[in-house]
Amino acid sequence: MEMQKNSSTLVNKKTITSIAIGGFDGMHIAHQELFKNLDENGAIVSIESGFANLTPKRYRQEYSNYPIYYYVLDNIKHLEGDQFIKLLNEEFPNLKKIVVGYDFCFGKNRKYCTKDLKELFHGDVKIIDEIKLDDIAVHSRVIREYLKDGEIEVANKLLGKEYKIYGHQIKGQGLGSKSFVPTINLKVNEFLLPKEGVYITKTILEEKEYNSITFLGHRVSTDGSFAVETHILNEDIKNNNYTTQIKFIKKLRENLKFDSFEKLKNQILEDIETTKKYFINIY
């Protein structure tokens, strides 16, 4: 059962009776399976390695109604097994249940695993068997590899949602509106970017979602610089300064070098037509 609380800062830790523990980068379908085993006073204990780039820390709460409490791995990784459990019992004095996956290990040199957790914690310990989808093991590292290969549709299936990044708007070369099509240029920090290429996407501006096409990569046909730029279909958008979100849906093609602006422009117009057709056919 899910609850409506959604900010850990507002939830008293004393009310928490069950927790799921892990890194939770991606908040993918296997993570969501763990959360299904929490009770209505459940919480997520997220251990921060500093390497999360699918759902970096401040973007993670959006994918669960359970409050998330963050712990820095470097601060707890030296603990012996009993010390780790002691910490959890102190943090959550009414803790009755812990949910982890089959591969969960913790403490000094990661030498404590699920068997030790069962022995050390006096309460209910629920271990979730490995979750796979179409024979693919669901793990954040696996999802990262699909994204790096541009295999968005597989990545999205494993994520259980469309992969989404946040960026802030920056100035482009100023060529787009003049020579090609207008685009919003983005600077993206923290998030893993999919493989260079052209993608069917949705772009969210001020909570409104638009169909879009996004180019991501080195502008090998113009100035060679790296860019993330999104063109919103069928709309005349005034460039603003709001945080922009991009949801990736499908890769259209690789990043290509064109020997004239004319050829690049024709290709871009063709990409836009393909994208429009895609959206017409799915609605």
Q: 236 to 265, contacts with ligand ADP by CB under 6 A?
A: none
* CB nearer ligand FMN, residue 81 or residue 172: 172
Figure out which of the listed residues 22, 107, 167, 176 binds ligand FMN, where binding follows CB under 6 A: 176
Segment contacting ligand ADP (CB under 6 A): 128-136, 195-203, 228-236, 271-279?
128-136
Distances (CA, A) of 114 to 49, 69, 125, 164: 20, 21, 9, 32
Q: What is the DSSP letter of 60?
A: S
What tokens appear for 30 in the block? 């296997």
Question: Is 130 among the residues that bind ligand ADP (CB under 6 A)?
Answer: yes
Q: 36 to 95, contacts with ligand FMN by CB under 6 A?
A: none
Figure out which of the listed residues 131, 155, 159, 184 binds ligand ADP, where binding follows CB under 6 A: 131
Q: How far is the CB of 222 from ligand FMN (least distance, A)?
A: 4
Figure out which of the listed residues 47, 79, 237, 256 binds ligand FMN, where binding follows CB under 6 A: 256
List residues bridging with 185 in a β-sheet. Answer: 170, 229
Q: How far is the CB of 207 from ligand FMN (least distance, A)?
A: 23
**How far is the C-alpha of 224 from the C-alpha of 230, rounded, in Å?**
17
* CB nearer ligand ADP, residue 51 or residue 242: 51
Q: Angle of helix 140-148 relative to helix 152-159, nearest 10 degrees?
A: 160
Question: Is 30 among the residues that bind ligand ADP (CB under 6 A)?
Answer: yes
Give Cα 167 to chain centroid, integer Å: 13
**How far is the C-alpha of 43 from the C-alpha of 51, rounded, in Å?**
22
* Residues in contact with 156: Cβ distance below 8 Å, sequence separation at least 6, in sequence order: 162, 163, 248, 249
Question: Is 228 among the residues that bind ligand FMN (CB under 6 A)?
Answer: no
Which parts of this chain interact with ligand ADP (CB under 6 A)?
Answer: 21-25, 30-31, 34, 100-104, 128, 130-131, 137-140
